Amino acid sequence: MDISTCLRSAAVVALAVAGCAVPAGAAGTSTPGKPPALPESGAGAAAFAYLCAAGKDLLPTGKCDTWRVVTLDGRVYSFPEALAYEKGKKADDAGEAGAFAISPDGTRVAYQRASDDRVVVRDLGSGQTLELPHRAPKGSVGSPFSLKFVRDGGLAITHPRYSDRPVTTYVEVESGTARNMPKGLTLLDVEPGSGRVTLLSEPGIGQRGWFHTVADGRTTKAKIPEKAGKHLIWGAFTARNGRAANLVPKGPPACGPDMTPVWLTVYSTTTGKMTKVKPRLPVDVSQADAIDWLGTEEIVAAASRERPGKKESTVLGTYVYAVNVKSGASRLLTKLSTGEPLFEGRLVVGGYAAAKSGAAAGKIAKPGKRGCE
């Protein structure tokens, strides 16, 4: 199991115990009860979605038993059609959440349909629902897969979510055409027109990563450097048109990783050649993952920030930045806000390609000690 898998597992455990709330702010509103259901059409582009937690066990049950979808203009809807949370048949079985994704432009959502376990994509403007050739395995609890849009027209279905060698199915949403990617590789990009596919063997501690480019029936491999400066390269990558980017964290010290981003690295996915620049993010950003490209000069970073006083740090993805790959300059695209506690940090980011920059960033906290030496 690599360090990214370890961190995801640890985060789920910690948040399940403590719960976690995204701070109230401009992009969302506090909802004292269950919000109205998502309309069949005309909802507008989505900015984010989340599962809230309720009751003494902090589970997505009761008034929190559906996904919440928040549009770019701040309207909040519940979405009962999408599987939110499912318990096992045995009383002591842990429950599992349903998978959910939002396209970069916010016009589409993907989810496991609660009524028949189908993976479907829904257009929020027209209300058109496209069934994909994939459903949850019979007898599974929750969604044993993750969903991620690849650009706006493709969907990656990765099963099982946290395996060391997951299998990803790439589906072209409009045609429904599906193809399986090589086992154990992460799908980063599929280029429209050329069909060139970029895959990743994820780097980890003591494990070098590789880019795999598949074009015209041939595969080209490029080794990822072990370090950027003195810091190990690991964590989330995003790729577009033959280039990949990664926000390198400070490091994994023995008693807990310090996820502060210290380098923004950009690579040729065919040669592995790397350039790096210091990301000019707010000083209280405690973690940031590269999740997509925004044009040719900026990447999209989903970030968490420390909060003033004794409150918990925000969830990864609360702040969404565009970061220039040449200068490191950043601008805030949006701040994702709800007054409800989140279940296991289930905050789904989307709509950033349509977001207007200049949103209020919120108070910058004095950074605390992160990780250890």
Residues 302-322: pLDDT tens digits? Answer: 999 998 777 778 999 999 999
Give the separation between CA 237 and CA 197, rounded to whole angstroms.
Answer: 14
Please give the pLDDT value at position 133.
86
Please give the pLDDT value at position 266.
98
- Return the bridge partners of 100, or none: 111
Give the separation between CA 103 and CA 155, rounded to whole angstroms.
Answer: 9
Residues 6+ apart with CB under 8 A from 92: none
- The total of other beta-carbon atoms located within 10 Å of residue 120's CB is 18
pLDDT at 294 over 90: yes
pLDDT at 298 over 80: yes
Please give the pLDDT value at position 172.
94
- The total of other beta-carbon atoms located within 10 Å of residue 356's CB is 8
**Rama region for 228: left / alpha / beta (φ>0; ψ in -120 to 50; rest):** beta
**Measured on CA atoms in the order 166, 348, 323, 286, is the torsion positive or negative?**
negative
* Per-residue model confidence as pLDDT tens digits over 175-199: 999 999 999 999 999 999 899 999 9
Which two three-digit tokens encode residue 222? 């490029």
**Measured on CA atoms in the order 168, 173, 176, 177, is the torsion positive or negative?**
negative
pLDDT at 15 over 60: no
Please give the pLDDT value at position 373.
59
* Per-residue model confidence as pLDDT tens digits over 48-87: 999 999 988 899 999 999 999 999 999 999 999 999 999 8
Which two three-digit tokens encode residue 99? 């998978």
pLDDT at 3 over 50: no
* Per-residue model confidence as pLDDT tens digits over 193-236: 899 999 999 998 778 899 999 999 899 999 999 999 999 999 99
Q: Please name the amino acid found at residue 6.
A: C
pLDDT at 27 over 80: no
Please give the pLDDT value at position 33.
75
Per DSSP, which regions of 65-128 are E strands?
67-71, 76-79, 85-86, 96-97, 100-102, 108-112, 118-123
pLDDT at 131 over 50: yes
pLDDT at 139 over 90: no
pLDDT at 255 over 90: no
Please give the pLDDT value at position 12.
32
| Mean pLDDT, range 111-135, rounded to an integer | 95
Please give the pLDDT value at position 363.
84
